[in-house]
């Protein structure tokens, strides 16, 4: 199966500062994993810049202006205590959101069925009005809104297996029945959202997992709750917030997943896309802060997309 890989060297230039977990080495590890011979068939494409029109479908002007404001050379600018911008951050954020939109155009335009966006900064914590949790623009949300506005889709699923709940994505689509948001995540944990009772207009499905949960609990949450809801929704496009920080090696959380769990869930999502969306699936990198886990889990995820 032909899979497109969208990335850009500018995404390596976003530097939140010494010791910050969301470092350029994360993307470098992902790209190194995808340089293995097994991934030679990937169709490698440069991520374009997102347009303001694309961003404004999900973000307020004040947030867009704050992120796009230049950062002085050799300096940093904090948008919240965890979310820091450097001189290279503006282009990186635009490339990350632009990759997601271009990947949607790629799969919906018939060029290929699946795509993976190896980009940073991540996005799923960014709300309509606030950059937070290492996230500047909400890349997957921008892509979903692009698919609705430009391609006229009626049902889009956003699937999120990052260990942290995607509060921004949930917030953006809380009242949007054309978008279903399905998430597994550790609870309690930042950002303290994602309870079972948070259901939007019936389009939000959360499966919180307790600290220490591993493969069995993760697979049960997906098999018993999230995947059936996604099948019932019958999406025309599947978007994935692919965070790999539920891996047992991750230093910022306490779930115990293995690389095989990412391969298993990806295969389930490929099947979902084949049943309902003509195979159309776009995945975007979110979190993951162990470099070894990032290499292993990314290889498992993209390998499953290629089958």
Percentage of the chain lying above the pLDDT 90 cut: 97
Percentage of the chain lying above the pLDDT 70 cut: 100
What confidence tens digit (pLDDT) does each residue in 27-56 have? Answer: 999 999 999 999 999 999 999 999 999 999
What confidence tens digit (pLDDT) does each residue in 259-301 have? Answer: 999 999 999 999 999 999 999 999 999 999 999 999 999 999 9
CATH architecture type of domain 4-296: 3-Layer(aba) Sandwich (3.40)
Distance CA 242, CA 229 (A): 19
| Domain boundaries of the chain, sorted by first residue | 4-296
Confidence band, pLDDT 50/70/90 cuts, at residue 1: low
pLDDT at residue 74 is higher than 90: no
Please identify every residue annotated as catalytic.
Answer: 125
């Amino acid at each position: 199966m032909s899979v497109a890989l969208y990335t850009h060297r500018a995404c390596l230039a976003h530097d939140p500062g010494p010791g910050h977990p969301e470092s350029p080495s994360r993307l470098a590890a992902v790209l190194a994993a995808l340089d293995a011979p097994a991934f030679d068939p990937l169709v490698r494409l440069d991520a374009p810049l997102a347009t303001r029109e694309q961003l404004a479908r999900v973000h307020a002007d004040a947030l867009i202006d704050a992120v796009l404001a230049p950062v002085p050379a050799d300096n940093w600018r904090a948008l919240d205590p965890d979310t820091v911008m450097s001189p290279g951050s503006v282009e990186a954020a635009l490339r990350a959101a632009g990759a997601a939109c271009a990947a949607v155009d790629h799969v919906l335009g018939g060029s290929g069925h699946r795509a993976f966006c190896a980009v940073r900064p991540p996005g799923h914590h960014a709300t309509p009005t606030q950059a937070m949790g290492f996230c500047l623009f909400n890349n997957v949300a921008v892509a979903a809104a692009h698919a609705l506005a430009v391609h006229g889709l009626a049902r889009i699923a956003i699937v999120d297996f990052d260990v942290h709940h995607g509060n921004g994505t949930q917030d953006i689509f809380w009242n949007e029945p054309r978008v279903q948001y399905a998430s597994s995540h550790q609870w309690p944990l930042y950002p303290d959202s994602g309870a079972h009772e948070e259901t939007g207009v019936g389009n939000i499905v959360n499966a919180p997992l307790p600290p220490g949960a591993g493969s069995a609990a993760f697979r049960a949450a997906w098999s018993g709750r999230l995947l059936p809801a996604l099948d019932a929704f019958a999406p025309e496009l599947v978007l994935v917030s692919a965070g790999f920080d539920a891996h047992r090696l991750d230093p910022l959380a306490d779930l115990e997943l293995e690389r095989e769990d990412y391969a298993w869930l990806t295969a389930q999502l490929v099947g979902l896309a084949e049943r309902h969306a003509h195979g159309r699936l776009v995945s975007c990198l979110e979190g993951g802060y162990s470099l070894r886990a990032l290499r292993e889990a990314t290889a498992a995820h993209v390998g499953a997309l290629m089958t």
